[in-house]
Structure 1
């Protein structure tokens, strides 16, 4: 059976998660991408084999045309935020299991997400869109408010603004960096940032747990630390699931970010209709003790998932990102790809930035230097394991 996997740049989720899982399932894999050389480098020496084919993956017509000329597909899949709608349309064209393309579009388009939830009577968030180059002077939002790209990812160009002067300044700065981007100006939803991780086959949906997220100080929204919670309160989960149902989310993995307000109200920040990233999906598989990536692929092959996944509920985890604090060249960092299992705790470290690489300070997730995570039966123990690793190592940036 042939799996077509659509991708932009290589990610740990694909290289260390989905492609090894596809090999374990006995699937033949064709990676369609517009970053062929990067993928070929990423797969050098890998435990799996796959073919990598050049394709304009952001155009569903090109994807369909290319697949039509090659091996018959058993599944068309992507874990990219940017490619869910294209992947869903291609899967539908070939009569395969796939996401509803309308749900994929609603999840990606933050303006459409807000409008749809409001029309369904589930949550009305004050929100407006700015076309590329449009001046925000005509807007009268309630302050403070959030400015962000309508189809953005990874906290890039997401900022909190206090007044109309700051709004105009931040919009101008973002438009200079993203001249073709539509921006969203929306109500600031205060509260604790949480996630809900789900997995479905289009008939049954499993709630896998979630994370509580510590963010950097405002005005930026860099995710610094995530801690696992096996179960949010049931009323909170029900609120989030009702909104996912309204959006049409059902097949495969979904990573939903929401704010939990003091009155118990759960308000969605964004819906990422794919597996959680930045190695949290690798950690999630360890936490739950299930073949997570295989299960996601099985759902996209049209298989019915087990009623009970056999997931563990006795593990805790901490996922911490080491961030650059200034621009410059990374000249010292721990040895890459460290992993240790001892005393019931799994500790993993993976670099995000290579030694010798020079970067500006972005004030986004692109400032990550490396990611440390630990899984074990006690929260204090895993917190201590991560803290000890960070304290024992150094990341040095020189101008």
Structure 2
């Protein structure tokens, strides 16, 4: 009988549907998908789908208890801690649930890292008058730049806070704005070794919003050891991790830690760049295998560039999935919205209509191929 992978998921994502589930099949694993959205996943996964309150580790344990688990795994921001607790219950390799909780809860993260990198952070309803404005207002456990705003003073803070409260529950935090060049650090650990997979240089939209507009492959900056020190202090060292940080005047400061694989199709770009079956390698770590040696590929340039909606309405024209070569540049496009979808402009990463990934020998060739691709295709919102 094949070993069983219990994959814990919330909403459907391309990372799971086109990444981890096919990878599990290639590894010969029998996958059981535990989710609180079974109808959505039943349309994308042909294996067993179990309806489960995946936010509660006790419910995951009860569902997994019906079988013989080889691994309990999740790639969801929100589900790292419950999945880790469930895996630990069965004695399986897992992330430290405390580290997963710190990474998800931005207030806990700031408190835990205060001795290494003090950053002003307060409950958004209890910001003192002498707070170091401008501040970044954000959900304490948010994702995808949703409801994240730069606020200049107490009056703007109150206005934005009321706007968010009108459509969202949950605590908000107000953090010191950290200036600098925005980078990511992509890592994978097996509990003994933490390996740097690479880094992207991120371009974001003008304030007060923080929409990621472009990610460009680059060498990790010289200040990266400070980020690794902070990750170690948080207890991050197992499985995949996607960390966002800024570098300013020679100092690296963490913005947030996402204790899972990078998303928005940069995971597929990362796999292409490394030339390894990345999704399989991540699953193998959760099965107890050590990281294997990888041969570095020749240096190439790569960019992930989302197509971002500029208005609300119905998407009436857009390309489907595409793969093509433009000279020496390999282009991949995967839609995130389908023709006919209604788009409500949010000024967040949820406004992505699709993402173009491009890999080539030189930056100039990649940028030119990206420009030609976008000129040759239409995305129309009526």
In 1: Cα distance, 2:188 partner to 2:153 partner = 40
Q: How does 1:54-203 map to 2 (within 5 A)?
A: 54-68=51-65, 70-118=66-114, 121-130=115-124, 135-136=125-126, 140-178=130-168, 180-203=169-192
In 1: Cα distance, 2:130 partner to 2:351 partner = 33
In 1: Cα distance, 2:328 partner to 2:240 partner = 28
Residue 258 (str. 1) matches residue 245 (str. 2): yes
The answer (yes or no) to whether the contact 1:317–1:379 under 8 Å persists in 2 is yes
Helix, strand or coil at the partner of 2:200: strand
Judge which range, 209-218 or 353-362, deviates more: 353-362
The answer (yes or no) to whether the contact 2:216–2:304 under 8 Å persists in 1 is yes
TM-superposed deviation, 1:233 = 3.2
Deviating above 3 A after TM superposition, structure 1's stretches of 4 or more consecutive aligned residues are 135-140, 341-344
Render the CA deviation track for 1:60-79: whole Å, top value 9, x for unaligned.
Answer: 111111111x2110100000
The answer (yes or no) to whether the contact 2:127–2:174 under 8 Å persists in 1 is no
TM-superposed deviation, 1:316 = 1.3
Q: Which residue of 2 aligns with 1:350?
A: 334
Q: Which residue of 2 aligns with 1:214?
A: 203
Specify every segment of 5 or more residues in structure 1 that has no aligned partner in the other structure, as ranges: 44-48
Pick closer, same or farther for the CA change 1:367–1:387 going to 2, 3 Å: same
The answer (yes or no) to whether the contact 1:352–1:370 under 8 Å persists in 2 is yes
In 2: Cα distance, 1:389 partner to 1:352 partner = 17
Judge which range, 359-368 or 209-218, deviates more: 359-368
Q: Which residue of 1 aligns with 2:286?
A: 300
Render the CA deviation track for 1:341-380: whole Å, top value 9, x for unaligned.
Answer: 4544221111111111112211111111111111122121
The answer (yes or no) to whether the contact 2:135–2:150 under 8 Å persists in 1 is yes
Q: How does 1:328-347 map to 2 (within 5 A)?
A: 328-334=313-319, 336-341=320-325, 343-347=327-331
What's the RMSD between the two structures over aligned residues?
Answer: 1.2
The answer (yes or no) to whether the contact 1:288–1:315 under 8 Å persists in 2 is no
TM-score (norm 2): 0.97
In 2: Cα distance, 1:289 partner to 1:51 partner = 31
Specify every segment of 5 or more residues in structure 2 that has no aligned partner in the other structure, as ranges: none
TM-superposed deviation, 1:177 = 1.4
Q: Which residue of 2 aligns with 1:4?
A: 6
Render the CA deviation track for 1:270-326: whole Å, top value 9, x for unaligned.
Answer: 0000000011000100011011111100110111112x3223251210111111111
Residue 291 (str. 1) matches residue 282 (str. 2): no
Q: Which residue of 2 aligns with 1:46?
A: none
Pick closer, same or farther for the CA change 1:138–1:260 going to 2, 3 Å: closer
TM-superposed deviation, 1:9 = 0.9
